[in-house]
Amino acid sequence: MKKIQMKTPLVEMDGDEMTRILWQMIKDELLIPFVDLKTEYYDLGLVERERTKDQVTIDSALANKKYGVAVKCATITPNKQRVEEYNLSEMWKSPNGTIRAILDGTVFRAPILIDSIKPAVRNWKKPITIARHAYGDVYKSTEYRVPCPGKAELVFTGENGESFRETIYDFECGGVLQGQYNKDSSIESFAHSCFQYAIDTKQDLWFATKDTISKKYDQTFKLTFQEIFDRDYKAKFDELGIEYFYTLIDDAVARVIRSEGGYIWACKNYDGDVMSDMVSTAFGSLAMMTSVLVSPDGNYEYEAAHGTVTRHYYRYLKGEDTSTNPMATIYAWSGALRKRGELDELPELVNFANKLEEACIDTLNDGIMTKDLVGLVSEGYTATAVNSIGFIKAIRERLEAKLA
Ligand code: NAP
Ligand code: MG
């Protein structure tokens, strides 16, 4: 069989531990036999990050900006224990944080659905994609533990001499205090990423905040979205027959539960943190979740939503059999290849990405699964647990049949 050709390289960001092992298996079994794989390789494994003083992470993000599409393996975010384990000279920052700061994006997470695993919410029939603003608010706040009675004020000193001062509270006892911020530029890029992604995936977009209570802060989010929608996206939405819908966050929560899914739910940073864990758990598993970072200027970084699965890796190192679910990592590759195919007008590559995903779903529908999923299967379905390589080989068989 002639291999499918690529035009532009994908930016390949390799990672750590068990997902690094899966990464190689996926390339060897599911990609290289079929595609003349062109990548610009960056090793974001912790050893290489230490050797390059984390420059490799920055270089990979810049390459993502240059070429437009990257695929990333899960990576270790070092903590104290990792500093000892890997003998690190510094506690390097989270690669995802570094990449996000350079690309300035929004993270979209959507579950992969199969018939035999039913969502905990009975009426959910289609995936719900969470779009999380990954900048500011409580994640960048300044906090103060008020020790004694006293006056708390909100003070702003403008560069142009303009200033603002208002009493927050006259404390008659101790208490707590917090200052949060966000930036117009970041809220605007969040809005553009969401509208762009809704158009790309032809789904409705929902957005919710608490603007009735937060009359300046949340109101700014609401107005920014509406203004950008009316100016830049309304015509395209009308043409595609999709909708932009704004409501209050408490109303949104009720509607989401009653809905059948099939839309994107844009959330402020904290709402997105909490709601994405709720939605992903209700759909089944983090290993069945796709994740893509989309920047406002149209760069894409595809990854798995889970971590490096350390516990499985230590078992793998001892020579024990491991049944780690590679679905999210395979979908990171198929998502990136499909996007590359669309941008470079390579229908064969787009077709390959679609067929690869179909082969994964067929394998699961045939009851061949990794251990984590077998436990989630509904009554009336049968499933057999296989190890990671057994699962990948079962996908390969089906993929070969589809491409023949
Ligand atoms: P994790 O790697 O997501 O794994 C937590 C547990 O979830 C695993 O022990 C396993 O449960 C289950 N699990 C996750 N993915 C699975 C899969 N694909 N197949 C089967 N089971 C799966 O999270 P963690 O152990 O908290 O973090 C490990 C490392 O990953 C950390 O160093 C962290 O910094 C890093 N991390 C990276 C990213 C990223 O790069 N995007 C995200 C999160 C964490 P059982 O052991 O019960 O089978
Ligand atoms: Mg969280």
Q: Which residue's alpha carbon is nearest to atom 33 within ligand 1?
A: 76
CA separation (Å) from 174 to 144, 154, 343, 382? 11, 18, 58, 59
Find the 276 Cα to ligand 2 centroid distance in Å: 7
The span from the CA of 317 to the CA of 290, in Å, is: 27
Residue 285 has pLDDT above 90, yes or no: no
CA pair distance 367, 381, nearest whole angstrom: 8
Q: In this structure, what token pair is assigned to residue 1?
A: 């069989």
Decide whether any atom of ligand 1 lies within 6 Å of the 310 Cβ.
yes
Q: Which tokens in the block code for residue 275?
A: 């709601």
pLDDT of residue 97: 85
CB atoms within 10 A of CB 314: 13
How many angstroms separate the alpha carbon of residue 338 from the centre of ligand 1?
26
Residue nearest to atom 30 of ligand 1 (CA): 307
Q: Which ligand is nearest to the CA of 279?
A: 2
CB 348: neighbour CB atoms within 10 A?
Answer: 13
Helices 55-67, 95-103: inter-axial angle, 10-degree rounding: 40
Q: Does residue 286 have its Cβ closer than 6 Å to ligand 1?
A: yes
CA-nearest residue for atom 27, ligand 1, is 307
| Residue range 136-186, pLDDT digits in tens | 898 888 999 999 999 999 999 999 999 999 999 999 999 999 999 999 999
Instruction: Classify residue 78 as left (phi > 0), alpha (psi -120 to 50) or beta.
Output: beta
Per-residue pLDDT, averaged over 230-240, amounts to: 98
Confirm or reject: Cβ of 307 under 6 Å from ligand 1.
Answer: yes
- pLDDT tens for residues 323-380? 999 999 999 999 999 999 999 999 999 999 999 999 999 999 999 999 999 989 988 8
Structure confidence at residue 128 as a pLDDT band (50, 70, 90): very high
Question: pLDDT > 70: what percent of the chain?
Answer: 100
Listed in sequence order, the residues at least 6 apart from 379 whose beta carbon sits closer than 8 Å to its beta carbon are none
Secondary-structure breakdown of the chain: helix, strand, coil percentages, each rounded to the nearest 5: 45, 20, 30
Four-point Cα dihedral 331, 333, 338, 343, nearest 10: 140
Task: State the pLDDT confidence band at 205, using cuts at 50, 70 and 90.
Answer: very high
pLDDT at 1 > cutoff 80: no
Ligand 1: nearest atom to the Cα of 73: 40
With a cut of 90, say whether residue 48 has pLDDT above it. Answer: yes
- pLDDT at position 100: 84
pLDDT of residue 135: 84
Query: Is residue 389 scored above 80 in pLDDT?
Result: yes
Q: Is the CB of 311 under 6 A from ligand 1?
A: yes
Pair 76, 16: CB distance under 8 Å: yes
Ligand 1 centroid to residue 23 C-alpha, Å: 15
What's residue 284's pLDDT? 82
**3-state DSSP of 322-354:** CCCCCHHHHHHHHHHHHHHHHHCCCHHHHHHHH
Q: Enter the pTM of the model.
A: 0.89
Which has more pLDDT, 135 or 238?
A: 238
How far apart, in whole angstroms, are the C-alpha atoms of residue 106 and residue 128? 16
